[in-house]
């Protein structure tokens, strides 16, 4: 764990790799996880570039935030961290909720972004039914804690046929998530902006990734983002659900490595 100045929203983040010839990679985790969901990518890419992966506000070892943590605030936190670390430009990558935070980051500080990675996510705002469901789940997590929810959704987060090690890692992240932070983020997801028009104006290369068996963000959502983005590559990862970076790290890292090499060549 790396300590972070107390006036910012992070207590913990990974900052590994020192190669200054390559564009840094910033990894934004999803809900209800923490920075350890990126362990295979940190291990792979820190050998060739700087890799930064924070625990978002309210998750992991970062401070908890009651109420609602807007996506704009999550993105502001990321920019503040990168300012503190003196990282000027970077590839910004996120999965699920992390992908939506990445979209908001591009909205706020797109001139610093050299490439986008959007994994198992989607840009549309929440439906009325979804708003009710997310707020109800936030209330439930505050009442009951994380264990029951984690047990229920584990085999949607990762495929039923995922390895026991991956299942254990994902379950551990979910049960370790602070209910207050998870609830705050769920309420933010209920009121998230519409990023669909933003995607049509992205001026940097993008990599869109989705697990073939993802029930939360199906392949059709990834195909729609791929079509909307002016310059994007689409990877559908067979044998994976909502977390292909953990379920099939070789395939995920292979595509990400090719994408990063392309971004490096443009810099």
| pTM for this model (two decimals) | 0.94
Give the span between the Cα atoms of 123 and 134, in whole angstroms. 17
Q: Is the peptide bond before 32 cis (omega within 30 degrees of 0)?
A: yes
Number of domains in the chain: 1
Residue that has been written with the tokens 């705050």 in this structure: 184
Q: What are the φ and ψ backbone dihedral angles of 110, each rounded to 5 degrees?
A: -60, -25
pLDDT at 202: 98
Residue 5 belongs to some domain of the structure: no
Give the span between the Cα atoms of 89 and 26, in whole angstroms. 10
Residue 67 has pLDDT above 70, yes or no: no
Percent above pLDDT 70 for the chain: 94
- The sign one gets for the Cα dihedral 150, 152, 157, 159 is positive
Residue 113 belongs to some domain of the structure: yes
246-255: per-residue pLDDT in tens? 999 999 999 9
Residue 158 belongs to some domain of the structure: yes
Residue 133 belongs to some domain of the structure: yes
Residue 5 has pLDDT above 90, yes or no: no
Q: What is the mean pLDDT of residues 152-178?
A: 97
167-225: per-residue pLDDT in tens? 999 999 999 999 999 998 899 889 899 999 999 999 999 999 999 999 999 999 999 99
Q: How many CB atoms within 10 Å of residue 93?
A: 27
Element (H, E) at 7: none
Question: Residue 68 is part of which domain span?
Answer: 13-266
Residue 192 belongs to some domain of the structure: yes
DSSP 233: E
pLDDT at 130: 93
Residue 147 has pLDDT above 80, yes or no: yes
| CATH number of residue 155's parent domain | 3.40.50.1820
pLDDT at 7: 38
101-131: per-residue pLDDT in tens? 999 999 999 999 999 999 999 999 999 999 9
Q: How many CB atoms within 10 Å of residue 103?
A: 28
Could you tell me if 173 and 146 are in contact, meaning their C-beta atoms sit under 8 angstroms apart?
A: no
Residue 267 has pLDDT above 90, yes or no: no
79-108: per-residue pLDDT in tens? 999 999 999 999 999 999 999 999 999 999
Residue 1 has pLDDT above 50, yes or no: no
């Amino acid at each position: 764990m790396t300590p972070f100045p107390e006036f910012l929203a992070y207590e913990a983040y990974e900052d590994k790799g020192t190669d200054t010839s390559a564009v840094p990679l910033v990894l934004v985790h999803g809900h209800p996880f923490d920075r350890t969901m990126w362990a295979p990518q940190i291990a792979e890419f820190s050998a060739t570039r700087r890799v930064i992966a924070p625990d978002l506000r309210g998750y992991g070892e970062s401070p908890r935030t009651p109420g609602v943590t807007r996506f704009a605030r999550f993105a502001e936190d990321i920019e503040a961290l990168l300012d503190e670390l003196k990282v000027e430009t970077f590839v910004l990558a996120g999965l699920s909720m992390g992908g939506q935070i990445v979209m908001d980051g591009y909205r706020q500080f797109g001139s610093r972004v050299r490439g986008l990675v959007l994994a198992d996510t989607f840009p549309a705002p929440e439906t009325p039914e979804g708003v009710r469901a997310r707020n109800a789940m936030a209330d439930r997590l505050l009442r009951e804690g994380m264990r029951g929810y984690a047990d229920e959704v584990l085999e949607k987060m990762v495929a039923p046929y995922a390895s026991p090690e991956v299942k254990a890692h994902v379950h551990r992240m979910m049960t370790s998530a602070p209910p207050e932070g998870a609830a705050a983020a769920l309420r933010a997801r209920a009121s998230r902006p519409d990023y669909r028009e933003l995607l049509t104006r992205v001026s940097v290369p993008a990599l869109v990734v989705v697990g073939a068996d993802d029930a939360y963000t199906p392949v059709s959502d990834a195909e729609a983002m791929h079509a909307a983005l002016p310059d994007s590559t689409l990877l559908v990862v067979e044998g994976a659900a909502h977390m292909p970076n953990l379920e099939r790290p070789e395939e995920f890292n292979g595509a990400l490595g090719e994408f990063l090499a392309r971004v490096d060549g443009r810099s």
